[in-house]
Amino acid sequence: MNKQIHQLTVTELLHGLEDKLFSSVDIVKHYLDRINKYNPELNIFLHINENALKQAQQADQEIAKGTKKLLLGIPLAIKDNFLTVGMPTTAGSLVLENYYPQYESTVTKKLLEAGAIFLGKTNMDAWAHGSSTETSQYGPTLNPWDLGRLPGGSSGGSAAAVSAQLAPAAIGSETAGSIRQPAAWCGVTGFKPSYGRVSRYGVIAMASSTDSPGPIARTVEDAALITSIIAGQDSYDGTSLSKEVEKYHELLKKKDLKGIRIALVKEYLLPTMRTEVKTLIHAAAAHLESLGAKVEEISLMDPKYAVGVYTVIQRSEVSSNLARFDGIRYGNDRNLFGEEAKRRIMLGTYTLSAGYYDAYYKKAIAIRTKIVEEFEQTFREFDVIIGAVSPGPAMKLGATQNEPMFGEMEDVLVEPSSLAGLTSAGVPCGFVDNLPIGLQITGNQFEESKILDIANLYQKTTDFNKFPKQYDK
């Protein structure tokens, strides 16, 4: 046993604080030391919170007084598209270099109210446009498993922070894969709540009709705890739903999967996918069957259509959302947009422009209906859908060069569920070339507790939750 602080989950840290094995100051100091040591080589944090130690002292005082909060004294890493008062928020772009937000995002506000301490802000693809962190105008984050590879994205900094153990958990956001894909490439757990379950207020908007904030963590249990805190209706986000929030972390009770019907989608085992990845997904299905679930192969719409639909919808919404950055009220002017942002804004401008709106945008949102209906039909017969998160393991640095559709092709397996606003967990399910591979377990809208429960049981009965040796000492 005798684990070091950075080898503990959030749940274990909370127990340690309660048993007075260490203080919040001990935890935060330990992480800040690690960040100072490893951040220069990994480029995970764009900003480190200089008040973190002071906030840890305050947390220790509260703990001494007997205050109970779900995350009291626990440090977290926050993706740099969440507005944080007192810390710069760049969204990975030079347009927002040195921008200090005027208000706090709902997600970070809720975490602060739960007693969390922010270690800093994590690197991401600029404006969350990408699946690599290579579009960040502050340089890419490196994958802790192999410094010659990408961490995935857009929440690549948050996933790498958990993988390199520079934070016990982190916050990311997903529009189509931006939590699950970097979590898969970095070998950690990612959880995408249903669209509308977590407030988007104060998250720099990418595609407003699919943006979903969520946790990246060491375990499903920790991801469930964080989701219990950040979920819920917010009067500042008109698309957040009033449905009651469950205490997800207290509902992880399954000991077997008797009665659970699982669909394995044939079309998601892509012809281009590496055989080793397919083998791991079939092995995961067999494992779930051994726990009592019934697994059946089904057929769904070819995910290539979801790529087209997502590309049109995402670019269109981006062109509208990024129109507000004019350098007048805050930030720098539009000349500082990087190549990827320009490409997306312009393509979206084109697909919404007179003469093309019907052919592209209207067509895409009609097919979106078909995708939604197909999932509704599937969830009448099945509890969950499983598949790979990504067609392969982490790709090498530079893989996005001259690949204007890189993100879409890497996210082909997560785009359909995002377009339908579904909830989905990504958990490690094995290794290819010593690099982690992720399994996605996807459920119907607002079935967070079921998905977390199944993912938790899968994780607790398998042995794929590993950390790169270089940073696990």
Partner 1 sequence: MTQTNITTDDVAKIAQLASLTVSEEEKQLFAGQFSTTIDVINQLNEVDTKGTPPTSSVTKLENVTRSDIIDTDRVLPQAVALSGAKNVHQGFFVVKQILKKDNE
Instruction: Give the span between the Cα atoms of 420 and 369, in whole angstroms.
Output: 8
Least Å from the CB of residue 329 to partner 1: 6
Cα-based torsion angle of the residue sequence 348, 353, 359, 364 in order, rounded to the nearest 10 degrees: 30
Q: Which CB sits closer to partner 1, 249 or 344?
A: 344
Catalytic residue among 23, 154, 155, 316: 154
Least Å from the CB of residue 450 to partner 1: 18
Q: Which CB sits closer to partner 1, 1 or 328?
A: 328
Instruction: Give the span between the Cα atoms of 19 and 22, in whole angstroms.
Output: 8
Gyration radius of the chain over CA positions: 21
Chain residues binding partner 1 by CB under 8 A are 99-100, 102-103, 195-196, 209, 235-236, 238-239, 241, 301, 304-305, 307-309, 311-312, 319, 323, 326-331, 334-335, 337, 339, 342-343, 345-347, 349-351, 353, 360, 362-370, 372, 404-405, 408, 419-421, 445
Q: Which CB sits closer to partner 1, 61 or 236?
A: 236
Q: Which CB sits closer to partner 1, 115 or 421?
A: 421
Least Å from the CB of residue 233 to partner 1: 11
Least Å from the CB of residue 284 to partner 1: 27
Closest CA to 431 of 129, 131, 145, 195: 145
How is residue 205 annotated by DSSP? Answer: P
3-state SS class at 227: helix
Catalytic residue among 79, 121, 254, 450: 79
Least Å from the CB of residue 12 to partner 1: 36
Give every strand in the sheet of 212-217, ordered side by side: 45-48, 117-122, 75-79, 169-174, 212-217, 189-192, 423-432, 435-443, 384-388, 261-265, 294-298
Annotate 348-395 with DSSP letters as a single string: HHHHHSTTTIIIIIIHHHHHHHHHHHHHHHHHHH-SEEEEESSSSSPP
**Helix ranges (DSSP H) in 2-150:** 10-18, 24-42, 52-64, 106-113
Least Å from the CB of residue 426 to partner 1: 20
How is residue 436 annotated by DSSP? Answer: E
Least Å from the CB of residue 317 to partner 1: 10
Q: Which CB sits closer to partner 1, 75 or 331?
A: 331
Residue pair 203/71 in contact (Cβ under 8 Å)? The answer is no
Catalytic residue among 23, 136, 155, 178: 178
* Other Cβ atoms within 10 Å of 253 Cβ, number: 9
Instruction: Give the span between the Cα atoms of 111 and 381, in whole angstroms.
Output: 37
Sign of CA dihedral 316, 343, 193, 72: negative
Q: Is 178 part of the annotated catalytic residue set?
A: yes
Cα-based torsion angle of the residue sequence 131, 132, 136, 141 in order, rounded to the nearest 10 degrees: 140
Residue pair 397/146 in contact (Cβ under 8 Å)? The answer is no
Given phi > 0 = left and psi -120 to 50 = alpha, else beta, which region is 426? beta
Least Å from the CB of residue 236 to partner 1: 7
Least Å from the CB of residue 15 to partner 1: 35
How is residue 396 annotated by DSSP? Answer: B
Q: Is 228 part of the annotated catalytic residue set?
A: no
Q: Which CB sits closer to partner 1, 284 or 307?
A: 307
* Other Cβ atoms within 10 Å of 244 Cβ, number: 9
Q: Is 79 part of the annotated catalytic residue set?
A: yes
Q: Which CB sits closer to partner 1, 48 or 367?
A: 367
Instruction: Give the span between the Cα atoms of 165 and 158, in whole angstroms.
Output: 11
Q: Which CB sits closer to partner 1, 233 or 465?
A: 233
Distances (CA, A) of 65 to 29, 54, 61, 69, 70: 22, 17, 6, 12, 15
Distances (CA, A) of 255 to 9, 316, 339, 453: 21, 45, 49, 9
Q: Which CB sits closer to partner 1, 30 or 334?
A: 334
Where in the sequence numbering do the catalytic residues fall?
79, 154, 178
